[in-house]
A = this chain, B = another copy of it.
Amino acid sequence: MSKNHIASGHRLPKSAPSALYQQVRNYIDDKITSKEWVAGDRVPSEHELVAQFGISRMTVNRALRELAEEGRVVRVAGVGTFVAEERPQSTLLQIANIAEDIRQRGHRYRCKILSVELVPATPEVASAMGLHTGQQVAHSRCIHFENDVAVQFEDRFVNPRMAPDFARQTFAAETPAAYLLRAVPVQEIEHVVEATLPNKRQAALLQMEETQPCLVLFRRTWTDQTVVTMVRCYHPASRYRLGSRFPVNGAGR
């Protein structure tokens, strides 16, 4: 039997990342992601995993310890290891999911697509996305409604090299943000928040007065050091706030 490969009693993770503790971590992570194990469920004890995979306890321990540090499981000495409650996705990333956000408040969500097309990149867009001016770039515009009240105007550009099918979508069942989240794994995010007064067109789209402020969220996401999308989200300030709450990095020391 080969070393460095979980293969004993049960299924083994596809495309093993070589490190044993990683394979154990992925094994458990997959069980949780696939909902086979849900919040509160008991995870096999270290001893059980040792027996199941035929590896040492230190190795199992590292896998479980890292999952606990990530908040994926909760460990209680003397009791056991349990699947953690889903985390509220902290750090403004929640905003990526305005649809979920609205639905979780128990409100009706609707999205109106204004346009989806391929256009040549303006100098501003090219510079922000690391493209050449005039290069083809996907452009989408839509309005998000909460109980039929406009709460966000989304003006988005997408790198066609990273998401080639973006411009062919109708976005009838899925928002542009949700499509991208599914199609391209995000590795890095930048957020810039501004307050502005809307121009005439923006005010009309958001059914707001021109004298009232807009909260503008500018976001870029990267995968493999390449900008996948840049998007400006305009919110009538009277109807929207951005929030986040999270533990501080070095808190546990």
Contacts and interface: CB of A to CB of B under 8 A. Distances in A.
A124 interface: no
B241 A188 contact: no
Contact of A189 (B26, B196, B245, B253): B245
Q: Which size class do A's interface residues fall under?
A: 35 or more
Contacts of A188: 245-248, 251
Interface stretch (A43-51, A166-174, A209-217): A209-217
A2 B5 CA distance: 39
A85 to B, nearest CB: 16
A246 B194 contact: no
Contacts of A244: 92, 190-191
A237 B213 contact: yes
A60 to B, nearest CB: 15
Given A237-B213, A248-B187, A195 B195 contact: yes
A249 interface: yes
Contact of A215 (B189, B191, B194): B194
A93 interface: yes
Interface string A53-96: 00000100000000000100000000000000000000111000
A248 B189 contact: yes
A193 B248 contact: no
Contacts of A70: 249-250
Contact of A191 (B245, B250, B251): B245
A185 B195 CA distance: 31
Contact of A237 (B195, B212, B246, B253): B195
A186 interface: yes
A193 B251 contact: no
A192 interface: yes
A92 B230 CA distance: 19
B191 A93 contact: no
Given A191-B242, A191-B244, A213-B214, 8 more contacts: A91-B91, A91-B246, A187-B247, A189-B245, A190-B245, A194-B215, A194-B241, A197-B212
28 contacts: A26-B253, A29-B253, A70-B249, A70-B250, A91-B91, A93-B248, A185-B251, A186-B251, A188-B246, A188-B247, A188-B248, A189-B248, A190-B243, A190-B244, A190-B245, A191-B242, A192-B242, A192-B243, A193-B193, A194-B242, A195-B214, A195-B215, A195-B235, A196-B213, A197-B213, A211-B211, A213-B214, A215-B215
